[in-house]
Amino acid sequence: MEAIIVIILILADQWTKGLAERLIGPGGVVTVIPGFFELTCLANKGAAWSLFSSESWGLALLSFLSSAVLFALLWFLRKAEDLRAKIVLVLLIAGSAGNLIDRLRAGAVTDFLTFIFGTYHFPTFNLADSLITIGAGLLILFTILDREFLNYPFGVKPVKEEEAV
């Protein structure tokens, strides 16, 4: 079931990026809510907030790291038994795969969602970035609420206190 959800999320990410590329076009801007939300089609050759985009080795490094992280997350998902861990891993896998597909297909990730807060323009992002952010946020939340949570995605059973003594 997790594989189907991952595929659906990747398809949704690729579909929305494709719509942005076709309907808005590179560098195009569509104002949705004036002064708050715009659709802006940008090609991001770097990592989050265009980190490493000016480095010639940046794309190769990011593609390699993304692939390594993706394979590790897939391995952890196979071991995961806890529903919360599966949710976190599905979100991280789908987001990572969505952006990796862009890097391999076009040499850049298509970003198109821009929020504006007064004079501050939040960095433009996409659905895959949202999935990664939500997955990471849930990972942090679940870890704060349950100190044993990090054991679950790694297939490690929590040790009961009476067994540890």
Residues marked as catalytic: 111, 129
Look at residue 107 in the predicted model and tell me its pLDDT.
85
Residue 27 to residue 43: CA distance in whole angstroms: 8
pTM over 0.85: no
Domain limits of the chain?
Answer: 2-151
Residue among 76, 69, 75, 77 at smallest CA distance from 96: 69
**Chain segment 63-110, per-residue pLDDT in tens:** 788 788 888 888 888 888 889 999 999 999 999 999 999 988 988 899
Which amino acid does the sequence have at 91? Answer: L
Position 136 pLDDT exceeds 90: yes
pLDDT band at 140; cut points 50, 70, 90: very high
